[in-house]
Each structure stands twice: as C-alpha cells, then as structure tokens.
Amino acid sequence: MVLMFLNGDGMRGGRLNAQLQGAPLLRTAHSAAKYRYYSVADRFPAMIATDRDGRAVIGEVYEVPMEVLRDHLIPAEPPELELDLIELDDGTACLATVLRRDRLGSPDLIDISDIGDWRAYRSGTRR
C-alpha cells in the first residue's frame, strides 16, 4: 500500500475515481506550499515543485495498493503527467502525479496556483 495524493479527476465524484478500485480515502489534505498548479488546456490539473512562489494544492489522500496504481490509476493518467513524491503541509510524503518538467512553458498551461483547488477552478469559485 502507498499513500497517493490526488488533486484532480481521481478525487471523489471525479471521472477517474473508479480507477482507485475502492481504495480507501484517508483524508482531505493540502500539499506543502512549494508547488505551482496548472490547468492543462482545461482538461486536467497538474502540479510541479518550484523553488519560488510555491502554493499549496488541495487534494485527497488515498491508501492505494501498488497493483491498483500500476494496473488502473497510472494507465488512466495523461502523458503530460508522471509519478513523483510530493510533500503535504504536515510533512507527510505521498506519491502524486505531477507535470513533466519538459511540459513547462507549454501554451496549454493556465496557472491556477492562486486558486490551488481543481474543483473551485472548474466551478469558477475561489477558496
């Protein structure tokens, strides 16, 4: 089992949540304030670590079997993302899918770091 931080359509009610195959939600959480957060062409969110102007990202932490990660969740992720370790605001380390560094600078990226919440961004609300 691994801790997996989800901040997009894998969260409760999202179109990819079924890919978790019933993995238990442990809690809602915030990442440490060391990430930039983007909407990729309004299709999905992507976070990436930064050394400056980092923000927290809202998400959910799940306890996911490695086989579910390998066979269901990761294959459903878009090619712009890759698996990495991230830090939560309480210092907990989690796996998460993050933006591939070679995608930085893409015209498809809309910086939503000041919102930090995919659902709020999609609904047009602010936290």
Q: What is the pLDDT of residues 89-103, one digit of tens each?
A: 999 999 999 999 999
pLDDT of residue 124: 84
Torsion on CA atoms 72, 73, 76, 82, rounded to nearest 10 = -130
Question: Average model confidence (pLDDT) for the chain?
Answer: 95
When pLDDT is averaged across residues 3-23 and rounded to a whole number, the result is 95
| Nearest CA among 46, 121, 43 for reference residue 83 | 46
Rounded distance, CA 17 to CA 99, Å? 19
Burial of 31 (0-12, 13-18, 19+ CB in 10 A): buried
Which CATH number fits the domain that encloses residue 19? 3.10.490.10
Does the predicted model carry a pTM greater than 0.85?
A: yes
Number of domains in the chain: 1
